[in-house]
Structure formats: structure tokens, C-alpha cells
Amino acid sequence: MRNLNRRTQVVILTAFMTIILIAVFSFGLLIPDDAVVGSFLSAKQPPSLAHPFGTDALGRDLFLRTLKGMAVSMTVGTAASMISAVIAVFVGIAAATGSKCVDALINWFIDVVMGVPHTILVILISFALGRGLKGLLVGIAATHWCSLARLIRGEVLQLRSQQYVAVSRKLGKSGGWILVHHLLPHLVPQFVVGLILLFPHAILHEASVSFLGFGLPPEQPAIGIILSESMRYIQTGMWWSAVLPGLTLVLIVLLVDKLGDNLRMIMDPYSAQD
Amino acid sequence: MALEAKNIYFRYGRKQPWILEDCTLKIDRGERLAVSAPSGYGKTTLALLLAGYLKPEKGEILLDDKPLPAKGICPVQLIYQHPEKAVNPRWRLKRVLEESGKLREDVLDAFGIERAWLDRFPRELSGGELQRFCVARALMSGADYLICDEISTMLDVITQAQIWNVVLEEADKRNMGIIAVTHNKHLAERIATRMIDLSE
């Protein structure tokens, strides 16, 4: 590792992180429902070799349940942050290229959405849409686009004032052509990095809203559900049922966050010198 | 056949002082006009106005007694002082040139543009090399008027001479009008058929 330059090191590290995340996700997806059926004979066991994370009060293996929950959470996180990022691009470009009136309206709307605490808004939307996967997805997607939209608006405004865009216009190119050929390629790094940095937010909100009982139904073993169930038994000394799944969640979120930072370093050469 | 500025007034913002007041200017095709003035007298502003990048607050810019066309390739092309800002940093230079139309081998040869440069990115070329691309792009667009805003200020004299020779040759061939904004009195005397000083 030492004799490679920093860029190569970051690329290798990023690839490694991506592999871990994909492994967790696909392993979680592949676990059949039978594997997490419990038996009361093995209930409330502390972590051991047979059950690395211990078992819960119904005797279900917490390690498999956590992985399965992670896969569900990651699905929600990926879908929600993707929808959010696409909304952000559209809104950001509309604000930057539209009239002053449109820009002011969009900025005001962003302020409004950002002014309401995310969790409350997610709970309201999720509850109004009948909870479950759909409500949660829409709730998270509808609340997370704001900061990325602002970023993209700023970027487009800056790009539009560039001389090469002015030259392009004088060479007879239309606004649409300039948007596709000059502006959008410059937005790809912002979009990808923004998308990945949205993911931890989305996954944490999914977990917290499910924990509070407004998200996924109890039969879907999402991380929030596991944590909220563990609260009932934590006084009886079952520390593992809260700590280990919680730690897994934190680890995955940190991993994705770091992945986003690394990707930014790879894609945006200016920030690599930071 | 003339590019004309008729009594134009311009200022950057309501509370700013006038940069140009009641400025009138006319240049025919085939004519070469050198504009000089100390810093801050509105040379670049005049260039931007004539090329249609800015709109005058009062007065009008006329090309053959009609306003500049809003769509299509503009027959008045501006070349900037800093070439590195006037090309998209993410495009290879071949694409930069092709934005103005088909590549013309004779122009490439005249500027001494090596074919290997076409596959490079802008930051892999020097300022002088890049400026040749910007001038070539403006020439390939088939413009009738070329406005050169200090295009050779940051170049060494050999490159300056090379670029100007090609521009003047092409201008003669196509009967183009040229407005050259410059600080350099000697350069102005060499290239221009007429000179004006904005400070007067």
C-alpha cells in the first residue's frame, strides 16, 4: 500500500468498501424466512459461536435478523436517496435556469421543507400514506432533496456564467443543447456524491421512524423494528439485542459516508488536495 | 455592410456610473479597427456589447441596419483575453473546435495546431496553444466580424505574430471586419487601418 500514490490508495479502499456493502446487502437478501424462525428453546441466549449476536426473546437468531434487516434498510435507503437526488437535480436546474420568480418560489419552498424537522415530516407523510414500505419511501424521498437541490442550483448558476457557455450560445447552440452538453456532465460528480451522502440520512430516518412505530410493519425485520423490540427486554439484561444490531447500523452508515467522501476525492480533482 | 453601435449607453447596474455614454462606432467589412484606452475605460464592455453578449441600456447595435440575430450562429464572434476560461475544461479540444462547425484543416495548419493536441484536454495545453484554438474556433464559425479582446496580451511575441498573421490573412480572404482591443500601440499600428482611443 505504501508505494502506491494516494489516489490509487483511495480507489482501492473505495472498491473494498463497495464490496463489503454489496456483500452485506446480497447476503441479507438471500437469507430465507425460515432461517429467522425462532424456537423458545433457544430464547434469550447471549452471543455465542452458534449465534454471534445472540437470540431475541422469541429465540430468533439476531445476527441473521440484523443482516436481513440491513438489506431491507439498504433497499429503502437506496431507493429513497435515488428519488431524492433526481428530485434535487430537477428542482436545482429549474431554480437556476428559470425566471427570478421561479427561483424565489423554489428557494422559499426549500426553506419551508428544511424548516420542518425531518423526522416529524417523514412520520406525517408515512402515516398519511398508510405506513409500510411505500409510505416510508415517499416520506424519506420527499424530505431529503433540499440541500442537494441548493447545491446543484448554485453549481448551475456558476456554470451558466462561464465564458464557454456564453460562447456556445453565440455559436448558435440552444439552451437545451447547452444543458445536456455543457452543464449536466459537470453535475455528475455532485449528483453521485450527493446521492451516496444522502443514503446514510435515509437509512437512519428509516430506522428511527420504524423504531417509533410509524414505518415498516413489525413482520419485516428492519433494523428499526429490531431495536424497538429490544427495548422491551433491555431491562432484563439482554444488552446484546440492542447493542449489536445498533452497532451494525452505525458501522454501515459510517462506511457509506466514508465511501461518499472517497468518491468525491476521486471524482473532483480539486478536493483531492484538501 | 457594416457593424454599427448607435448612441449606446451602458452601465453595470442602476446605481453604477456610466461606462459608455453616447458611444457611436461604425466598422465596415474589410476594415480593421484598433480600440485602445487605459484600464477601466470600457474596452471590454464595448467588445461585449458589439458581440451581443451584453445589451446596451440605450441605443442599439446594428448589423447591416438590423439588430444582431438572437438565434443561430452569430456573425459577430468575440475572442476573449483568457482562453482557458473560454473552453469547457471537460471537453477534448477536438470537440471544442467542432462546436463551431466542421474542422478546417487549412486553419489548423495555418495556426500550427498539431493533430495530437486535438485529443488533449484544455489543461494539458499552454495558454498560447489554447488561444490558437479559440481563434480557430471563431474563424471556423464563418463569422463576418471578429472582435478580439486583447487576444495576444499574454503571449510571447512570436506566437502573437503567428496568430495575427493568420487572422489578417483569413480576414483579407473573406473580407471580414476586425475590431482589435489592445493596449499595444505598436501592434495596433501594424494591424489596423483605423485607430480610436476611448479616453478621448
Whether A172 sits inside 8 A of B74 (CB atoms) is yes
Question: Which of B99, B130, B145 should we substitute to test contact with A (largest number of A Cβ atoms within 10 Å)?
Answer: B99
CA of A172 vs chain B CAs: smallest distance (Å): 4
CA of B132 vs chain A CAs: smallest distance (Å): 15
Which chain B residue shows the shortest CA-CA distance from A163? B86
Q: Which three cell numbers stand for residue B86?
A: 473560454
Tell whether pTM > 0.90: no
Residue A121 and residue A204 in contact, taking contact as beta carbons nearer than 8 Å: no
Residue A269: predicted pLDDT = 60
Q: Which chain A residues contact residue B90 at CB under 8 A?
A: 185-186
pLDDT tens by residue, chain B, 200 residues: 789 888 889 988 888 888 888 888 889 988 999 998 888 888 889 999 999 888 898 888 888 888 888 888 889 999 998 998 999 988 999 999 999 888 888 888 888 888 999 998 888 888 888 999 999 999 888 888 999 998 888 888 888 888 899 999 989 998 999 999 988 888 888 888 888 888 76
Report the alpha-carbon distance of residue B200 to residue B198 in Å, rounded: 5
- For the domain made up of A6-31+55-273, the CATH class stated in words is mainly alpha
CA of A270 vs chain B CAs: smallest distance (Å): 13
Q: What would the pLDDT profile of A66-102 be if each residue is shown by its tens digit?
A: 998 899 888 888 899 999 999 999 999 999 988 899 9
Distances (CA, A) of A110 to A96, A114, A143: 14, 6, 10
Instruction: Nearest by CB to A171, from B52, B87, B100: name it.
Output: B100
Interface check for B136 against chain A (CB to CB < 8 A): the answer is: no
Question: Which of A171, A180, A188 should we substitute to test contact with B (largest number of B Cβ atoms within 10 Å)?
Answer: A171
Point out the residues of chain A with pLDDT beneath 50: 274
Residue A274: predicted pLDDT = 46
Residue A148: predicted pLDDT = 92
User: Can you list the domains of chain B with their CATH numbers?
Assistant: 30-53+70-197 (3.40.50.300)
CA of A95 vs chain B CAs: smallest distance (Å): 22
Candidates A53, A51, A65, A69; CA nearest to A238 is A53
Interface check for A167 against chain B (CB to CB < 8 A): the answer is: yes
Complex confidence, ipTM: 0.87
